[in-house]
Structure 1
Amino acid sequence: MLISIIVFIALVAGLYIAMRNSLIGKKNQVANAEASIDVMLKKRFDLLPNLIETTKAYMKHEQSVLTELTALRQQSCNIDTANKPQLDKQLSDAVSHFKIAVEAYPDLKANENTIFLMRSINETKEQISAARRSFNAAVTRYNNAIEMFPSSFIANQMLLTTLPLFEISDVERTNIDAAHLFKQ
């Protein structure tokens, strides 16, 4: 009988340790996924000076787009986690304006440096998208783990709370009106 009690206590303790370690692992996966987004955003922010320098000679009449990109890049140097999605959205909008401007000017579009940089921007955009999907998957696994029984008891003991998914704003969900952007 005593052996049965000891085995039962050992099993409960082992289960507790396994669930606690799993919760910690999921919390760390969320942090890792968020850091991946930061890496991709930094890569995109680092591309901007090259993009701006390459296109200055071609786009004197599009100075407002270049000024906006430069200002957003400077803001990105001192960004906190809470403001990251907003700056990312502003930067995405500015890059969209730039892409439309490139499409409108065949000489700029044909420039080899511009072609390379546009490819780099598109590649980085895809990497950011993949990092966001990875982040959302990690957050979903984490949130499920802290809300589901029996690990929810341990999560409450560890003071873990659910995390929000990385979402886009309603403005980003609408189609881009290219004609309107040319008028700006």
Structure 2
Amino acid sequence: MAMVCGIVAAVIAVILILWLVLAYNNLVSLRNRVANGWAQIDVALKQRADLVPNLVATVQGYATHESKVFEEVTKARAQAVEAAGNANLTREDRAAIEARLTQALVQLRAVAENYPQLQASQNFMSLQQQLASLEDKIAYARQFYNDVTLKYNNATQQIPSNIVASLFHFEAAQYFKAPESAANVPTVSFS
């Protein structure tokens, strides 16, 4: 009887250890996917920031008296580039900075609407297409990141994997949320 109890105890111990390893590996995998999702957002935001000077220069060639808009776009871009290199910023802070750049770009596009020659410029049209493509990539990357963050946070908070998460100090990840002010961005048409 003692031998059977020993075997049962050993089987239970092996099952618990196996579960612990699997739960830990799942949490590590999800945490890494969250980090990868953030890296994809970061790459797309850097590409957008790199495109902004060309867009500003193109519009500036046609609309030289719109210096305030150009200054705002340049300042917002500089803040976005600086934020990209600052690991101490929260994701909410980064989202707010990126939202300011988005708003400045909307203002720049609104200025561009007043210049039909600019609208017809091949360079401007190409930059607009590139920017639209990047905005789509950014939106997709944010959605992917937030979806993976949801899975990871669920795993760190739901029983029984929350036990492993607390044992090994897995912290909840932050969602990439646009600030409330981003909801007030005006719509601009390029028709």
Give the alignment's TM-score, normalised by structure 2. 0.87
1:166 aligns with 2:176: yes
Report the Cα offset of residue 97 of structure 1. Answer: 0.6
Match of 1:50 in 2: 54
What pairs up with 1:1-184 in 2 under 5 angstroms? 1=4, 2-79=6-83, 80=86, 81-82=89-90, 83-174=93-184, 176=186
| Greater displacement, 95-104 / 120-129 | 95-104
Q: Which runs of 4+ in 1 moved over 4 A?
A: none
Count residues with an aligned counterpart. Answer: 178
Structure 2 unaligned spans of 5+: none
TM-superposition CA deviations, 1:88-132 (whole Å, max 9, x none): 011000011111112222111111100000111111111111111
- In the alignment, structure 1 segments of 5+ residues that lack a partner are 179-184
- Give, in angstroms, the shift of residue 72 of structure 1: 2.0
Encode CA deviations 1:36-84: one digit per residue, 9 max, x unaligned: 1110100000001111222221010222211212222222332123231
Percent identity over paired residues = 28
Contact map agreement 2:103 2:185 (CA 8 A) in 1: no
Q: 1:176 to 1:53 in 2, by over 3 A?
A: closer
CA apart distance, 1:175: 5.8
Distance 1:173 1:43, change over 3 A: same
Backbone CA RMSD of aligned residues = 1.6
- TM-score (norm. length: structure 1): 0.90
